[in-house]
Structure 1
Amino acid sequence: MTDWKNQFAEKIISLESAVGKIESGDKIWAGGLLSMPVIFLQELDKHLNQFQGCELYTGLMTYPYEFLKPQYKENFKHISLFMGPLERKCQHGGNIEVMNFHFSNFKQTFAKLQPNTVIIEVTPPNADGYVSLGACGGVGSKEALKYAEKVLFVVNDQQPFIGNKDNLIHIDYADFIIEGHHSVATPKAGESSELEQQIAEHVSPYIKDGMTVQIGIGTISNAMGMALRDRKDLGIHTEMFTESLMEMCKAGAVSGKLKNYKPNKIITAFAAGPQEVMDFLHNNDAIEMGGMADVVDAYEVAKNDNFVSINTCVMVDVVGQVASEGVGFSQISGSGGQLDFVRAAGMSKGGVSILALSSTRDGKEGLESNIRIALPTGTPITTPRNDTQVVVTEYGAADLRGLTTPQRVKTLINIAHPEFRDELLEQATKLGLAK
């Protein structure tokens, strides 16, 4: 056995012993999404009352852990760096506090948090003793390791081995190792609705052969990825690699050869999808998994000419202020990298930012417009109006670039649901926003 193999064997402990390494007052980074050490956290759930004053940092939960219940706040205060469906269920009354920040600030955020304990899933080591951080390696783990006093690797042979330098770490970094093998695949994306396909059709003309694309999270984004399968020589520089992006690659739409920045590479910070996506990522030299702050750095991304950012939102007001992470005082997700990519597209030569949404929603009193005269009180603005370029609904695309305020207002009203257009124009005129 080589030295690293001896080290590996010596560091292996039982699951129960691993939980015993946690101490009251620890500040623990436990990864995000598919990097979260599921088996460890499930065991931790059985011992929560043994600890006091711990803080647990995660993002995008995939399992309804016991520590999410309010009675464990004093044991393990849970802080989420990005909300998903499980976090939303717990935000009112559960054990969760949300930290809102742009993903370009990941390094500064961890410098403030300074977790003393890191527990993350990794792959089995390669021949040189390096493990891969897997499908979600860019979500904070290397930043957290800078401050860690205790490091536990949970080896999972179902994590895809993504072997670029930024996604590798030697087993020297681990103080303890446990093995916990389980699937990290998430459910296959459902079929896009007719409305989502209509939105994708309005976005599609903005994406030409050879452009570099970023596509965000959501069902509209999935439809968008599917609509681009007939393009040629696209590049990918994205926050999250998804099933629809994989389908673009398999359809021959992606080569990356025309990218100015890191040509021929698919740049991403994390990935999720069914097993087919995990298999696509595994040992794929075209994939470069980078740290989140670096991947969403607008100045780096904008080195690509013709960069197009495609993201979804939930509401827009008539001057172009965009809400993507919540409505009123109810939070839905987080800022993520949306504004970083919007600004990257704005700085890119030939670039464009596109924000897509359905024109309506089902409200308490029936159908409501998602294009509003003003956003509801308390609504966080994800993309300011001065950064908003193109907004798309199923009724068309509103290109706001170079328009005055009255022109912006009328252009946005033109893509609202027809039932609300007259009312919106009347309100805007009374307020002096339209002429």
Structure 2
Amino acid sequence: MPPVLLDPVAPDLSPWLRAGDGIVVAQAGAEPTALVEAAGAHAQALGLSLFAGMSYTDVFPRLAAEGARVVSYGALGGTAKALGLEIVPCNYSALPALLASGRIACDVVLLQVSPPGADGRCSLGPSADYPADALAHARVIVAEVNERCPRTAGTTVAYDDLHAVLPTRRELAASAGVTPGPVEQQIAAHVAALVQDGDTIQLGVGALPEAILGALAGHRDLGVHSGMVSDGVLALIDAGVVTNARKAGADRGVTVTGSALGTTAMLDALDGRTDIDFRPTSRTHGLAGLAAAGRLATINSALQVDLDGNAGSEGISGRRLGCIGGQGDFLRAAVASGGSAIVTLRADRIVERLDGPVSVARSDVDWVVTEHGARSLRGLTDAGRRAAMRELAGGRLG
């Protein structure tokens, strides 16, 4: 049956909420902020938990200050500022199983979707990832149906499977553009030399990934299989650099991702495209999806790497600044594919010992790249690793 239409001025989710419910919230540009506010109004009284990822808004800090319990896979964007933020330290590939088992509760899923098409289905817009996996386990699905939400290819949900909807027309939350500096450009040049024509690449977002994407402009027939894509990926697709032509099977010719984290111009440009597929985390980070992606060049940034090669991406000196994410998943997959598993950082972030948790163990770290060059740690002894890392630090550590 058709979903219930919520009051656009004061949406009330109380008929669909139960005490102790776990609420899973779509992230980044797909965050349904008004629905989060509506659920948050009952969070303390009903003992609700809100599971959220990257947020471009201040909604989670405000709700946490009012007593809401906020849980995440990392400290990202506005979510990082939530008082008492609880973090589940895990590889991104673990999220689907954690949701399926109830270890991360997903009684209610809050989405932002496009209006239904002729097939009666709504696109999940610029972010499918973990909420798409949660849909099969949720008791209730509520969506903001936003006329401005791009209709993207990939994961969809039937309009009649939604329990309640909030019709809106608003611009999606987006990131500001970034301008790489000279150090990022130096690192990017070293990374580009490790990527071969025809490789399938994976990157994060930020100034350094954008610099790397720019440095790949001279490559040919690159593919993309990544948890997230940014403005730079779209630019390489439109320039004919990313073609996905050397992938096998159903992914040939298609960029596969979970989320788009970019500017408003990029999010608007996604509407109606069929060359970018938005898939659940189980597809983007699962073994089957990674095995079908071809020869991988995975490029991840770290907050710190120590002289033994352990990488930290979650925090420094007690400050939570990031997440484990998909680094471990993609680094292992790259080695298995015969590709390049790359960790990037500025030379001044190489340290004797990490100031935070080990996010990726030294046994999974291969290439490390700084502005001083690129070195492979695979097969090196402890002494060889430490010598290579000192070179990458520019001699700063003796």
TM-score range, shorter chain: over 0.9
CA distance in 2 between counterparts of 1:217 and 1:156 reads 25
Residue in structure 1 matched with residue 46 of structure 2 by the alignment: 52
- 1:3 maps to what in 2? none
2:159 paired with 1:129: no
Q: Which residue of 2 aligns with 1:373?
A: 352
Counterparts of 1:155-194 in structure 2, within 5 Å, are 155-164=145-154, 167-194=155-182
Q: Which secondary structure state, in structure 1, belongs to the residue aligned with residue 69 of structure 2?
A: strand
How far apart, CA to CA, are the structure 1 residues paired with 2:43 and 2:276?
A: 42
Match of 2:185 among 197, 204, 214: 197
Residue 277 of structure 2 corresponds to 288
- Cα deviation for residue 149 of structure 1 reads 2.1
Using the TM superposition, give the Cα deviation of residue 66 of structure 1 relative to its aligned residue in structure 2, in angstroms: 6.5
Q: Distance in 2 between matches of 1:81 and 1:117?
A: 18
Distance 1:66 1:382 in 2: 25
Structure 2 residue 54 is matched with structure 1 residue 65: no
**What secondary structure sits across from 2:126 in the alignment?**
helix
What RMSD in Å do the two structures reach over aligned CA positions? 2.0
The alignment status of 1:105 with 2:84, answered yes or no, reads no
Counterpart selection for 2:139 from 137, 149, 166: 149
Superposed, 1:13-412 pairs within 5 Å as 13-15=6-8, 16-21=10-15, 22-44=17-39, 47-48=41-42, 51-65=45-59, 68=62, 70-73=64-67, 76-90=68-82, 94-110=83-99, 111=101, 112-138=103-129, 140-164=130-154, 167-260=155-248, 262-349=251-338, 351-360=339-348, 370-376=349-355, 379-412=356-389
Residue 239 of structure 1: SS of its match in structure 2? Answer: strand
On the 8 A contact 2:228/2:261 being kept in 1, the answer is yes
Alpha-carbon distance between aligned partners in 2 of 1:69 and 1:266, rounded to the nearest angstrom: 36
Q: TM-score, normalised by structure 1?
A: 0.85
Structure 2 residue runs without a partner (length 5+): none
For structure 1, which segment, 153-162 or 254-263, has the greater mean C-alpha deviation from structure 2 after superposition? Answer: 254-263
CA distance in 1, matches of 2:88, 2:351: 27
Which range moved further: 259-268 or 333-342? 259-268
Shift of 1:342: 0.4
Is the CA contact 1:315–1:371 (under 8 Å) kept in the aligned structure 2? yes
User: 1:232-257 CA distances to partner (integer Å, 9 max, x unpaired)?
Assistant: 11111111011111111122211111
* Equivalent residues of 1:185, 1:272 under 8 A apart: no
The separation in 2 between residues aligned to 1:247 and 1:135, in whole angstroms, is 16
Distance 1:156 1:348, change over 3 A: same
Q: 1-side partners of 2:180 and 2:61: how far apart?
A: 35
User: Is the 8 Å Cα contact of residues 217 and 311 (structure 1) preserved in structure 2?
Assistant: no
Q: How many residues align?
A: 393
Query: Structure 1 residue 191: deviation in Å?
Result: 1.4
Percent identity over the alignment?
A: 25
Q: Where does structure 1 lack aligned partners over 5 or more consecutive residues?
A: 1-6, 361-369, 423-435
Distance 1:88 1:153 in 2: 24
| Counterparts of 1:254 and 1:347, CA distance in 2 | 22
Tell me how far apart the structure 2 counterparts of residues 125 and 69 of structure 1 sit (CA, whole Å).
Answer: 31
Aligned CA distance change for structure 1 residues 17 and 392 (closer, same or farther; 3 Å)? closer
Label 1:82 to 1:211 Cα distance change in 2 as closer, same or farther (>3 A).
Answer: same
Partners of 1:14 and 1:334 lie apart in 2 by 36
Q: Which moved more, 1:105-114 or 1:14-23?
A: 14-23
Structure 1 counterpart of 2:353, one-letter code: A
Structure 2: how far apart are the matches of 1:89 and 1:169? 31
SS at match of 2:209: helix
Residues in 1 aligned to 2:66 and 2:84: alpha-carbon distance in whole angstroms: 7
Looking at structure 1, the residues matched to 373 and 76 of structure 2 have their Cα atoms a distance apart, in angstroms, of 29
- Please give the alpha-carbon distance, in whole angstroms, between the structure 2 residues aligned to 1:232 and 1:49: 51
Aligned partner letter, 2:45: F
Question: SS where residue 233 of structure 1 aligns?
Answer: coil
- Residue type matched to 1:39 in 2? A
Query: CA distance change for structure 1 residues 95 and 158 in 2, over 3 Å: closer, same or farther?
Result: farther
> Could you say if the C-alpha distance between residues 59 and 187 of structure 1 is closer, same or farther in structure 2, counting changes exceeding 3 Å?
closer
Deviates more, 1:15-24 or 1:29-38: 15-24
